[in-house]
Amino acid sequence: MTGIADTLQDTHARITAACAAAGRAEQDVTLLAVSKTFGPAAVREAHAAGQRAFGENYVQEALDKIAALADLRAGLQWHLIGPLQSNKTRVVAESFDWVHSVDRLKVAERLSAQRPPHLPPLQVCLQVNVSGEASKSGVAPQALPALAAQVAALPRLRLRGLMSIPEPAGTFDAQREPHRELFALLQALRRQGLPLDTLSMGMSADLEAAVAEGATIVRIGTAIFGGRTRRATA
């Protein structure tokens, strides 16, 4: 029976191959294990296999998991990758290391104000709606420069880069297009003087396309933990 240590090894092999194909260094791509809907035992097993960064979509589920794994807290990095409502910013600011899904100034301002002073600055990415889907969260590309400048100026936050969740595409070339667009948006912000270094893009189905277009964090869930059978509540 295949365990999480095996699937992590397989995923790292995919990243290695994708980096080789793209002429990139493997150490430039971080694997974020998306543990949503899987319990603390699965995270503990992945940690034992060497995984340190974990992504969660639902705030309350993540908080329960963080509490259950308090003994490992110093060796875990918790990333919120799902939508964040304004009324949940305080617990997120207090408990997470990264937030990938900032798409409004109000949310960023609350995270900044509520980040405890004894913790390092909260690392944040701006979520961009590169596909223009009405159902998707994310700032529109044309509104991104203004929001990025405002968020970068907030204390207690460190703006690291951009995140996207494009709609699924059937071919490798089609998968690359939205990732290429996000890379171009990051480059434009860098030309404005923002010292950004992070592109959070790519999941189990399009990892290779994302790495080819410059992903620095790939968010992999199904390929590591398997198919999800339930939806957690936020």
Q: Which pTM was predicted?
A: 0.95
pLDDT beyond 80 at 207: yes
pLDDT beyond 90 at 211: yes
Average pLDDT value for residue range 105-110: 98
Average pLDDT value for residue range 45-68: 97
Residue 4: what pLDDT? 97
Backbone angles phi, psi at 162, to 5 degrees: -125, 155
- The answer to whether domain 4-225 has CATH 3.20.20.10 is yes
Token pair belonging to 73: 């807290």
Residue 233: what pLDDT? 38
**What is the per-residue pLDDT across 9-55, written as a single tens digit (0 to 9) for each?**
999 999 999 999 999 999 999 999 999 999 999 999 999 999 999 99
Query: How confident is the prediction for the chain on average, in pLDDT?
Result: 95
pLDDT beyond 50 at 220: yes
**What is the per-residue pLDDT across 109-166, written as a single tens digit (0 to 9) for each?**
999 999 999 999 999 999 999 977 777 789 999 999 999 999 999 999 999 999 999 9
Measured at the CA of 123, the angle between CA 109 and CA 141, to 5 degrees, comes to: 70
Residue 1: what pLDDT? 61
pLDDT beyond 70 at 231: no
Residue 232: what pLDDT? 45
Residue 229: what pLDDT? 56
- The candidate with the shortest Cα–Cα distance to 91, out of 71, 72, 118, 64, is 64
Distance CA 79, CA 68 (A): 16
